[in-house]
Structure 1
Amino acid sequence: MLPERCRCWGRAADCTAQNLSTVPRVSPNVTQLDLKRNKIRTLLDNQFSGCWSLRKLFLQNNKIRVISPKAFAGLSQLRMLFLSHNRISRLLPHTFEDLNRLEWLILDNNRIARITPATFSGLRSLYFLYMLNNSLAKIPDGSLCTETPKLSWLELEGNRIRAVRGAIFQQCRELTVLVLRRNRLQWIQSGAFSGLSRLVELDLSLNGLDELPPSLFRGLAALQQLNISYNPLKEICPSQFESLPQLLSLSLEGLEIPNIHNVTFRGLANLSHIYFKKFQYCSSAPHVRSCKPNTDGISSFEHLLANIILRVFVWVIACITCLGNLCVICMRSCVVTESSAHTMAIKSLCCADSLMGIYLFVIGAFDLKYSGEYNRHAQGWMASMPCQLVGSLAMLSSEVSVLLLTYMTLEKYFSIVFPFSYRRAGRRQTASVLAAIWLLGLSLSVVPLCCKESFGNYYGRNGVCFPLQSELGERPSARGFSTTIYLGLNLAAFITIVFAYTGMFYSIRITTCRTAESSVCPRDVAIAKRFFFIVFTDALCWIPIFLLKLLSLLQVEIPGTITSWVVIFILPINSALNPILYTITTAPFQEKVKGCLHVRRPELSSRQSFMLVVL
């Protein structure tokens, strides 16, 4: 006996998507009945009477709201019951009382708000209980397993459970998998899991737990997988995992762990997989075979600089930066120019830029030192004094260079735009300004070192010891400090330089337009090209840094790979090119060098000398 619209294969009846509003009568020898995707709203008492042989019953994707207490009466042979994707909001006590051989009960994606131990009375053989995405606000105070002694897998993900009390799982001695993921847990009583001696997997991720009792996992001797990711935990007790000798996988993703220490994971001898929020945390568990993330885009397990290109070019750029600036210092010292104050400023700029080269040399040296085993030293390196000092050296170089370029640009602007009313700074005045710039740059670079309580490990956030982007766990004072520097001081300096060079070119253009010389156009083009390259290199260096800082403040996730390329290739651009732009390629300086080398060359006219921009 089977409805006409249903199909039959052996002892299985398939009535899927037949617009049925009631349960059809089927032959007593049917062992599998599929009623998915129909319009059944109510399961009445004795609805399946006569289906004595039924072992699997599929009722997913209907519109079931009410299940009568005796709806499943007589189904003593039923092994699997699927009631997912319905509208069930309440399960009356003893609803499943006759299902003493039921092993799987699937109730996911309903609206169930409350359960009691009596809800599952009679389910003495239940192995798998799946209640994903319901509306449970609490688990009953009594033991959940009083009526289900064989329960092995309990899935409660996506509910509204706020607390777990001590007696809930007291009699769940057979439980091997417990999933409480994506609830609203704020509190778990100490000892709540102590009776789960056979538990293999525990998932507490994506909840609101801000602390874990130190003895929470005591008694879980068989536990192999633990997930506490994405909770607002303030810290993890060093002895938190010491009672988990069999743990194989530990997930701590999304957690800021300020007190992380090697002791926390030292007792986990069998741990083979661990998952953190930050790559730097992996150094706290060096014995674990697989740690994720295995890179922060800057460093890897083996190398301080993960990318081979970075490991090579850190030396190339360091050499170019240092040699170029040292060459200019020597040439400026040997070649006497008319403006000693300008020469003093150029030398000061070269000294600042040389510090960036020294910074890159140090990073390259420690990359070689830790080659092949960086993970073992990462935590110590980022917290070490050498890392702090080299980071402050890079900050000193960057800020002094920015301030010097701004000062030199303004000096040039006023001398060109207001040639008759502006009086150029003398040697003593220039020396005072340079000293003030260096003092300000030094102050900015050492403040994070002197105020550890406010700034934390400011320079030691990554392997290259240079903080370009803000992080969620960053202290407010450190965030405000870096924002003021990059989006305040440096951005203002960049805008000043752009407008100053625009003003200079406009002034020179106006002057040349008033003359009738045939060489006006070529000279304008030469000056325009020179100004363009100066502004372009500044933009190439600073705009990516501005964007990086702004995006990090907006909490946009920035791959660490970008940071590493910015630090090695973009940040030193000005330091490497400044000697060329401000000294070696300038016509007056070339004339002086050629004169010293006894190279004959016609003298420049007075008008040409005025029009050439001496940088």
Structure 2
Amino acid sequence: MCPNNCTCDGYTAHCSGQSYNVFNFLSSSIRILDASHCSGLNGTLDIQMSFFFLIELNSSYSNIELISKESFSHTKNLLRLDLSYNLLTIIQSNLFKNLKYLRMLHLLGNRLISVIEPTAFNGLTLKEITLSYMTLNVILKESFGGLNLTKLDLSHSLIETVEDFAFERLIVNELDITFNPIKNFGKAMFNGLVGLQKLKTPQYKFCCIRPIYLEEKNCFPHRDEFSSCGDLMRRTSLQFFLWIISILAISGNIFSIAFRIFFDEKRLKMVYGIFVTNLAVADLLMGMYMLIIAIADRVYRGRYIEEDEYWRRSAWCTLAGVLSTVSSEASVLFICLITVDRLLVIKYPFGSVRISKNLAKMMALSCWIVCFLVAILPIVQSSYFGDQFYSKSGVCLALPLTKDRSTGWLYSISVFIGFNFITFIMIALGQTMIYYEVRHQSSVMKKKSSARRNDLKVARNLLLLVTTDFACWFPIGCMGMLSLNGHTIPGEVYAWTAVLVLPINSAINPFLYTIMAIISSKKFSPSINEQQSIPEYVKGQRKGFRKACYGIWFPDPKLEFDVVNPKSDAVLKLKPDDLLWIFLDVFKSLHLHHIHGMCYKDISAEHVLVYIPSNRKYGGVRIGQKPVGFSRNTETKQDINMVGEILKPLVKC
């Protein structure tokens, strides 16, 4: 007998989508029944007739809220049972005890199931149960007692509490409880679990209470690069360097800042001093970050795994993450600014291209604003970043050096890899240019002014400073690029990078640009005059020797002289002694400018001016062209050669 609107083929009936209780109209000899999407059950699966031969039943998507315990006493020979995507709220004790031959049970998608009573699956001999995508909330003691399974899937079921002995008397090869916000559990939650070969959990801390017979490699996820079940920093060497670097970074940078504020204030007002002092502040923040992690490791030592969740979600961990991000990005930006400033000073010693003090202050303020915005954005934009941006690891770092693609990974890559990598390419180019200029100009150092030699000395020392910072950050960028392309960075490498490579420059920078300068009793700073405006600088450089040589070739400016080109007839009518004085004064002018680091480069006959008063006697000579700084010895030779060519007609006459 085939019910209305059903399709029957032998002992198989397809009664999907019916609006009546199809169980009341079926033949007892039916073998396979599809009763999915049936709205006529009125929310209750209550089978009153005996279906001794029924081996497969599909009652999915039928709005079933309750299953009577008598239902399965009439279907004892079921092999497959599909109750997925219904409205079940509870699985009662001994509900399936009569289904001794059941091999497959589907309960997927029953999102309203919040309770599985103890021994609910008692009597079953099936091999796999899927209880994912539910709202179980709690797993009671012995909820799966008596089962012998190959796999039990409890993932994505919003489980918050797991009682002790929840899996007692359960025999299972693989247990999956991933993607559950489990907050309340005890050390005995896996006690009584037998035969486990693979365990998948939401966090590594659950692997710390795994059955003792299960190897750690078969428990997922594996521990992170830093922590163990007992300690935030599992290696003693990492703990040691954590304290050493944090103490050196904090004490060294506080000393550096204090020294510049109280004992070297004039250097603090310079562009170089502004940038280096701000770099010291950035390094100080990194030291504070390291100190927070070191204190947390000490406080939670021996019991860290119990406090792991609390620590990662604490305000201290978030603060540590913000400090590390601000410090790292500020360091990169200030290294770039220092490189640009030194390049301008070395490349254009007397040019008009220079960073003013006010501009330097605005640039420094802008850097700090940008860095704080970059660090705080993942906190305020929780809709995109969630609450795990700084809590992905126990050390609260957001560095994207692993293959994990957690929330906000694209932002991390853009900031720590993309932006930093581009900035360091610029720094590398700038440092290459500085190195070339320093190396070249060292060959003519004796002919430079003392201020110029000081500038080159500063450039060499800052080259060391920037190079060390570059050496620390560039490998991190390379590792980030490798991880982005799917390469696995070993956990030990990641741990040492975060604890030693990343913050080490914050500890050694004060020694490079402040403490070593004090020890050696040398002012490690550029000349004061470099911060003056260019016209004032050139004027100041010329003032001394102009005054000393006044009257030799600079005639009295109050007298009115005729300016005559040396090739003119008026000059050629001068006496031989006057012509000799012209030669002497012109080359004396060149000499005085050259020893002060200046030259004329392009001199023409119109630039050599001879002053002849009304009595037609020689009154003086000058070169009517503004001098500029030179960087190559050949430029001074070019000056001499050009002046010689201009004065050659006087020799011929």
With normalisation by structure 2, the TM-score equals: 0.55
Among candidates 155, 158, 169, match of residue 246 of structure 1: 169
Name the CA distance, whole Å, in 1 between partners of 2:127 and 2:187: 18
Of residues 215, 222, 231, the one that matches 2:146 is 222
Deviation at 1:503, TM superposition (A): 1.0
Match of 1:303 among 228, 231, 241: 231
Choose between structure 1 and 2: higher helix proportion.
Answer: 2
SS in structure 2 opposite 1:592? Answer: coil
Instruction: Show CA shifts across 1:155-207 (max 9, x none).
Output: xxxxxxxx96259x9976278xx799xxxx9958899xx996345895569xx
Q: Distance in 2 between matches of 1:256 and 1:407?
A: 47
Rounded Cα–Cα distance in structure 1 between residues aligned with 2:469 and 2:524? 27
Contact 2:139 2:161 in 1 (8 A): no
Residues 563-612 of structure 1 show CA distances to partners (whole Å, capped at 9, x for unaligned) of: 32211101102212222333345699842389xxxxxxxxxx988xx99x
Q: Does 1:315 align with 2:239?
A: no
Deviation of 1:402 (Å): 1.1
Query: CA 1:325–1:252 in structure 2 vs 1: closer, same or farther (change >3 Å)?
Result: farther
Q: What is the letter of the counterpart of residue 327 of structure 1?
A: F
Q: 1:398 to 1:416 in 2, by over 3 A?
A: same
Residue 413 of structure 1: CA displacement? 1.1
Matched residue type, 2:335: L
Instruction: Give the 3 Å change call, closer, same or farther, for CA 324–587 of structure 1 in structure 2.
Output: closer
For residue 329 of structure 1, report the CA deviation from its aligned partner.
1.9
Deviates more, 1:455-464 or 1:445-454: 445-454
Residue 423 (structure 2) aligned to one of 493, 508, 524: 493
Kindly indicate whether the alpha-carbon contact (under 8 Å) linking 2:109 and 2:134 is maintained by their aligned counterparts in 1.
yes
User: Could you say if the C-alpha distance between residues 243 and 593 of structure 1 is closer, same or farther in structure 2, counting changes exceeding 3 Å?
Assistant: closer
- For 1:388, the aligned partner's letter is T
Q: Is the 8 A contact 1:382 1:460 kept in 2?
A: yes
Q: 1:518-546: per-residue Cα shift (whole Å, max 9, x none)?
A: 9xxx99x9999867744542343223322
Distance 1:357 1:339 in 2: 22
Contact 1:298–1:463 (CA under 8 A) maintained in structure 2: yes
CA contact (8 A) 1:325 1:353 kept: yes
Counterpart amino acid of 1:421? G
Tell whether 2:393 aligns with 1:462: yes
- For 1:579 and 1:308, locate their aligned partners in 2 and report how far apart those are by CA, in whole Å: 27
- The yes-or-no answer on 1:502 pairing with 2:426 is no
CA 1:270/1:482 → structure 2, altered by over 3 Å: closer, same or farther? Answer: same
Helix, strand or coil at the partner of 2:229? coil
User: Residue type of the partner of 2:406?
Assistant: E
How far apart in 2 are the matches of 1:554 and 1:235? 33
- More off after superposition, 324-333 vs 311-320: 324-333
How far apart, CA to CA, are the structure 2 residues paired with 1:526 and 1:386?
43
Correspondent of 1:257 among 179, 186, 190:
179
In 2, Cα distance between equivalents of 1:531 and 1:418: 17
Tell whether the 8 Å contact from 1:471 to 1:552 is kept in structure 2 after alignment.
yes
Q: Secondary structure of 1:431's partner?
A: helix
- Structure showing greater radius of gyration is 2
Q: Whole-Å Cα distance in 2 between the matches of residues 592 and 557 of structure 1? A: 46
> What's the CA shift string for 1:285-329, capped at 9, x where partnerless?
869767745732211111011111111110011111112212222
1:591 aligned counterpart, secondary structure:
coil
1:546 aligns with 2:477: yes
3-state SS, counterpart of residue 490 of structure 1:
helix
Q: Deviations over 1:438-495 (max 9, x none)?
A: 11111111111212221122101111011212664522xx122111111222111111
Judging changes above 3 Å, is the alpha-carbon distance between structure 1 residues 356 and 216 closer, same or farther for their aligned structure 2 residues? Answer: closer
Cα distance in 1 between the residues matched to 2:460 and 2:353: 27
Q: AA paired with 1:335?
A: D
Q: Secondary structure at the match of 1:407?
A: helix
Is the aligned partner of 1:474 residue 2:402?
Answer: no
Aligned to 1:436: 366
Identity fraction in percent: 24
Letter in 2 for 1:459: Y
- More displaced stretch, 454-463 vs 501-510: 501-510
The one-letter code of the counterpart of 1:141 is E
Maintained 8 Å contact 2:57/2:82: no
After TM superposition, list the pairs within 5 Å mapping 1:493-572 onto structure 2.
493-512=423-442, 533-534=464-465, 536-572=467-503
Correspondence list, 1:329-348, <5 A: 329-333=257-261, 334-337=263-266, 340-341=269-270, 342-348=272-278
Q: Is the 8 A contact 1:314 1:364 kept in 2?
A: yes
Q: Which amino acid aligns with 1:165?
A: D
- Aligned pairs for 1:18-29 within 5 A: none
**Which amino acid letter does the alignment assign opposite residue 360 of structure 2?**
T
Residues of 1 paired with 2:466 and 2:373: CA distance? Answer: 27
Hey, what's the Cα distance between the residues in 2 that align with 1:485 and 1:252? 38
- Is there any run of 5+ residues in structure 1 with no aligned partner, and where? 1-115, 118-138, 144-148, 155-162, 595-604
Corresponding position of 2:82: 165
Which stretch shifts more, 347-356 or 272-281?
272-281
The residue that corresponds to 1:141 in the other structure is 56
AA matched with 1:453: S
1:326–1:226 Cα change, 3 Å:
farther
User: CA distance change for structure 1 residues 288 and 396 in 2, over 3 Å: closer, same or farther?
Assistant: farther
Distance 2:126 2:188 in 1: 21
| Aligned 1:4-83 pairs, distance under 5 A | none
Q: 1:509 to 1:313 in 2, by over 3 A?
A: closer
Alpha-carbon distance between aligned partners in 2 of 1:430 and 1:583, rounded to the nearest angstrom: 20
Partner letter of residue 506 of structure 2? S
- Distance in 2 separating the partners of 1:429 and 1:588: 32
Q: In the alignment, what sits opposite 1:484?
A: 414
Partner residue of 1:84? none
CA contact under 8 A between 1:300 and 1:306: conserved in structure 2? yes
CA deviations over 1:11-36 (Å, ceiling 9, x no partner):
xxxxxxxxxxxxxxxxxxxxxxxxxx
Q: 1:339 to 1:465 in 2, by over 3 A?
A: closer
Aligned with 2:227: secondary structure?
Answer: coil
Provide the rounded CA distance (Å) in 1 between the counterparts of 2:519 and 2:339.
17
Q: Quick one: which amino acid aligns to residue 471 of structure 2?
A: L
Aligned pairs for 1:92-103 within 5 A: none
Cα pair distance change 1:281/1:421, threshold 3 Å? same
Instruction: Report the TM-score, using the length of structure 1 for normalisation.
Output: 0.58
Alpha-carbon distance between aligned partners in 1 of 2:81 and 2:372, rounded to the nearest angstrom: 54
Contact kept? 2:159, 2:180, Cα under 8 Å: no
Query: 1:512 deviation in Å?
Result: 4.3
- Please tell me whether the aligned partners of residues 152 and 174 of structure 2 are also in contact (alpha carbons under 8 angstroms): yes
Sort the Cα spacing of 1:266 and 1:458 in 2 relative to 1 into closer, same or farther, 3 A: farther
User: Residues 408 and 238 from structure 1, CA distance in 2 versus in 1: closer, same or farther, beyond 3 angstroms?
Assistant: same
Paired residue secondary structure (1:504): helix
Q: Hey, what's the Cα distance between the residues in 2 that align with 1:188 and 1:491?
A: 46
Q: Tell whether the 8 Å contact from 1:314 to 1:361 is kept in structure 2 after alignment.
A: yes
Match of 2:514 among 580, 583, 586: 583
What's 2:122 paired with?
197
**Structure 2 residues without counterparts, runs of 5 or longer:** 1-30, 33-53, 59-75, 85-95, 526-594, 598-629, 632-653
Give, in whole Å, the separation in 2 of the partners of 1:420 and 1:588.
32
CA distance in 2, matches of 1:198, 1:387: 48
Q: Distance in 2 between matches of 1:216 and 1:311?
A: 38
Amino acid corresponding to residue 269 of structure 2 in structure 1: S
- 1:282 equivalent in structure 2: 206
CA distance in 2, matches of 1:530, 1:200: 77
Any conservation in 1 of the 2:101–2:126 contact (CA below 8 Å)? no
How far did 1:246 drift? Answer: 3.0
| Root-mean-square deviation (Å) | 5.0
Query: Contact 1:322–1:354 at 8 Å: present in 2 too?
Result: yes
